[in-house]
A and B are shown apart, each in its own frame.
Chain A
Amino acid sequence: MTILALENVGKSYGNVHALRGVSLSVRQGEVTCVLGDNGAGKSTLIKIVSGLHAHTEGNVLLDGSPVHFGSPRDAQAQGIATVYQDLALAPLMSVWRNFFLGNELRKGFLRMLDIASMKRICAAELTKMGVSVPDLDRPVASLSGGQRQCVAIARAIYFGARVIILDEPTAALGVKQSGVVLRYVVKARDAGLGVIFITHNPHHAYLVGNHFVILKLGRVVLDAHRDELTLDRLTAEMSGGEELAELSHELRGADPGKVVPPASVTPGSVT
């Protein structure tokens, strides 16, 4: 079931077209990987879907009807949560305060923070993820990179996200910590969420992805299901350039409907 779909979405900043004609769909219980090198338009794509920026062309469809997210709060209210590369955690705030930031639990006549419940829930959710934080009052800055990612992901899942967008969650992590995060991605998928996994690492993408979209210079250059790809091909696609047209041709032979031609990108024009 498709939860969120993008149809020919584009975004211009003045005369710079950061993103053009991007179509992709996010299905329940699937991981859609968006790959691309630096400057490919991945961040712009996230900003549109998470409500930070408005798109200038095309449609964003949520459950089939077009939406415009006015703010991140708006997108969140409709079940779209984003875990940013820079984590969206305030480093000097305690773990539990960060976990509930923007969604604080309150009680009583004075609308006081319900600190006891928040700490209890936070501890339970983190334990579920296999993260152990002995003191939830510690500042987030004292956690490791992987733990911080897990706090951010646990938070998104706890607050009822239907679609979770992970912005390069493994980019700054070591091998083992990346493994922890990838395991979490799978957990989110199995919990029935639609996952958008943004990365520039085809190895990590191939481990967890169901569907792969490669962006290059703001356009989609490959849109393929896992069955149509091998890791080698995905890696080759990522490195782009010479093999691009050839590989796309080859794949189009397999199933023309599922492959977007590499539009105006000609061999050699991409470095």
Chain B
Amino acid sequence: MSTATDVAAARDDRVASRPLAARVLSRPEVGSLVAAIVIFLLFMLVAAPFRNVANVGTILYGASTIGIMAVPVALLMIGGEFDLSAGVAVTTAGLSGSLLAWNFGLNVWIGVLLSLVLAVAIGAFNGWLLLRTGLPSFLVTLGTFFILQGVNLGVTRLATGNVASADISDMDGFASAHAVFGSAVTIGPVNLKITVLYWLVLTALGAYVLLRTRIGNWIFAVGGDAAAARAVGVPVRSTKVGLFMAVGFCAWLSGMHLLFQFNTVQSGEGVGKEFIFIIAAVIGGCLLTGGYGSVVGASIGALIFGMTQLGINYAGWNPDWFRTFLGVMLLLATIVNLYVKRRADLR
């Protein structure tokens, strides 16, 4: 008997190997990539300023501010949890850095570091409370969402008597902190903000961790079936708390950009942003139920968001319809993802 027939005998002849196209199409980010190309082509056709290379920087900047948060939010969703406090946590990070430095007359870098500790601690608190109570993360983080929203406003008014933090541009260390969190470089006609760099680095790092490290395997497992993961020895609790802390870290990074870009932070900002991060992740192929998704997809979702936001303006359409467009995108993405998942289950 030749080896070939042995192999054939060992295989179930009803199971054919999957064609390459099917394997490519079953990747989670495919839907978002197709949508991104369609939207790009659409605005290239209808909006003249969209074709101007100089505007690439503006579009990427819009995408990057969403993308920096969409990456950790996507990882958290793949790990099976939500964070509704992610939007206001960005504001909390910005405000705390600013207020601590301003109120106590510290070097702004000390405010930046204290803010980092606080932001990561908020993430850890979300994770701890979730595991401690066993409540769904939707409820736990909805609680912290409202708590932080109130704290942002209340503490800012106590400290400054105003609803925004004081201007810190004349304080020690501002120039260097601005260079780290708010600078920009000009390459040819394109003006690129530093957030674009952070976004790309975070996307690469997130995708690497998710697909090429042990922690990534654990993230998929705790989101897919936490009981199964625990049974084979995956540290479910640490993985989930770690994911919430990653969201906290990125909220800090976003908050620092907010602070050093505008020198002051409005205390009411950030409400509603959490859904935009979640939408970017869902458009990128993350399932609400966890265990499936893509970091690259979430970043493409952020790019779609950036292109649409500016594309609607550039095309001269009424920007009132932006949110409607976003809602339609979300529904379409969910339906496509559901369809793909069903097909993946069948194949």
Q: Which residues of A contact B221 (CB under 8 A)?
A: 90, 93, 97, 101-102
Contact yes or no, A134 B233, CB < 8 A? no
Given contacts A135-B18, A135-B23, A142-B345, whether A72 and B232 have CB atoms under 8 Å apart is yes
Contact yes or no, B16 A112, CB < 8 A? no
Contact yes or no, B292 A92, CB < 8 A? yes
**8 Å CB interface, A77-108 against B:** 82, 84, 86-93, 97, 100-104, 106
- Asked if A52 lies at the interface with its beta carbon under 8 angstroms from chain B, I say yes
Contact yes or no, B220 A90, CB < 8 A? yes
CA distance A112 to B12 in the complex (A): 33
CA distance A55 to B224 in the complex (A): 29
- Asked if B346 lies at the interface with its beta carbon under 8 angstroms from chain A, I say yes
- Asked if A56 lies at the interface with its beta carbon under 8 angstroms from chain B, I say no
- Asked if A38 lies at the interface with its beta carbon under 8 angstroms from chain B, I say no
- Asked if A127 lies at the interface with its beta carbon under 8 angstroms from chain B, I say yes
- Asked if B4 lies at the interface with its beta carbon under 8 angstroms from chain A, I say no
Given contacts A101-B234, A132-B10, A132-B11, whether A142 and B217 have CB atoms under 8 Å apart is no
Contact yes or no, A112 B220, CB < 8 A? no
Given contacts A90-B291, A112-B213, whether A102 and B233 have CB atoms under 8 Å apart is yes
Task: Flag B224-239 by CB within 8 Å of A: 1 or 0 each.
Answer: 1101111111110000
**8 Å CB interface, B220-267 against A:** 220-221, 224-225, 227-235
Contact yes or no, B18 A138, CB < 8 A? yes
Interface bin, chain B: 35 or more
CA distance A60 to B126 in the complex (A): 38
In the complex, what residue of chain A is closest to B13 when comparing beta carbons? A132
**8 Å CB interface, B1-49 against A:** 10-12, 15-18, 23
B252 CB to closest chain A CB (Å) equals 25
Contact yes or no, A73 B212, CB < 8 A? no
Contact of A71 among B218, B233, B347 (CB under 8 A): B233
- Asked if B214 lies at the interface with its beta carbon under 8 angstroms from chain A, I say yes
Q: Which residues of A contact B201 (CB under 8 A)?
A: none
The CB with the most chain B CB atoms within 10 A, among A73, A86, A90, A97, is that of A90
Q: Which residues of A contact B231 (CB under 8 A)?
A: 50, 52, 72, 82, 84, 88
B216 CB to closest chain A CB (Å) equals 8
Contact yes or no, B212 A90, CB < 8 A? no
Known: A101-B234, A138-B344. 20 other contacts (CB 8 A): A72-B232, A73-B235, A84-B228, A90-B225, A91-B225, A92-B224, A92-B292, A97-B221, A100-B217, A102-B232, A102-B234, A104-B214, A106-B214, A111-B214, A112-B213, A132-B12, A134-B17, A134-B18, A135-B18, A142-B347
Chain B positions within 8 Å of A, measured between CB atoms, are 10-12, 15-18, 23, 212-214, 216-218, 220-221, 224-225, 227-235, 287, 291-292, 341, 344-347
25 of the cross-chain contacts (CB-CB < 8 Å) are A52-B231, A71-B233, A72-B231, A73-B235, A84-B231, A87-B228, A89-B225, A91-B224, A91-B291, A92-B292, A93-B291, A97-B220, A97-B221, A102-B221, A103-B233, A104-B214, A104-B217, A112-B212, A127-B10, A130-B10, A132-B11, A134-B18, A138-B18, A139-B344, A139-B345
